[in-house]
Amino acid sequence: MTPDQAAEIAAQRRQSAATRRPTVAALEAVIYEPIAVLDRGFVRVVDYMGDDGAVVQAARVSYGRGTKSVRDDAGLIAYLLRHRHTTPFEMCEIKYHVKLPVFVARQWIRHRTANVNEISARYSVVEDEFYVPAPEHLAAQSVVNRQGRGEVLQGEEAASVLALLEEEARRSYARYGQLLNEGPGGKPLDPDRKGLARELARMNLTLNVYTQWYWKIDLHNLLHFLSLRADPHAQYEIRAYAEAMLETVKRWVPLVHAAFEEHGLGGARFSAKALAVVRRLVAGETVAQGGSGLGKGEWRELMTLLGREC
């Protein structure tokens, strides 16, 4: 972060206000503080509403903080998640400030259940910051998954790819400055030229350039986002953001987080045919894919879930 941004965050963290609203000490301890993600990105909580008690209160439609014990609250929250009673989780909201590469943002924005305000490259000059993967995340195309990675590139091939990514990013940004006719500090490169409009000059920037946005979402839809993006099959770059956000959820609503770990991230759902296969296996029957009624893909997924060889 720039010194000005760091100073602004420090000033925000020095402020405090009395409130009758429920607050969460563990989240208050890190509010406004950026959590580093990737090489130059971050995610930080800037506001929130509600806590575990708000979920319980909505479910019971009661007044005050509720009359049940923490153990009872944990059981109720787990029941709600397990049976997909989503409305009580919509009573809590959280707002993040995120700095992320554009190609990650384009994946992220497919989750249309949040309020988003992104920095405008029509109004502001894009910063000279690009995401370049660490060597361990440079991988070839998977041969079994059309939208996944395979083996990690090694040696000269990896070095060549890294160099190419950095070279193209630097070159495109230099061209961007030429189109704008702007150099360091916004000074014109050529006083006799006007430069292209920012909304047009941005067209040649690469997808690994960083952008920023504020992203506000309710807890139910946040958990849905995390169930997909914190999954091991998600692309590494967006998964890195999801894992950082999971830590903020743990601080914010620990009972919900524990239930989500158990019944969301750590659980599984079965189709009717897959459940029939599980019942046959439990009964001691030998079941093969050909007689299971499942396609090869679903069979492979089921056997992976059960820890069996395909």
Active site residues: 229
Rounded Cα gap, residues 78 and 200, in angstroms: 50
Backbone angles phi, psi at 287, to 5 degrees: -120, 130
What is the token pair recorded at 258? 């524990």
Report residue 78 CA to chain centroid gap: 23
Instruction: Give 116's Cβ-side CA count (13 Å radius).
Output: 17
Residue among 271, 261, 258, 256 nearest 305 (CA): 271
3-state secondary structure of 244: helix
Burial of 223 (0-12, 13-18, 19+ CB in 10 A): buried
Rounded Cα gap, residues 54 and 61, in angstroms: 10
Rounded Cα gap, residues 230 and 235, in angstroms: 9
What is the token pair recorded at 162? 């890294």
Question: Three-state SS across 13-31?
Answer: HHCCCCCCCCCCHHHHCCC
Q: Where are the beta strands (DSSP E) in the chain?
A: 35-37, 41-49, 93-101, 115-118, 139-141, 149-152, 210-218
CB atoms inside a 10 Å sphere around CB 122: 11
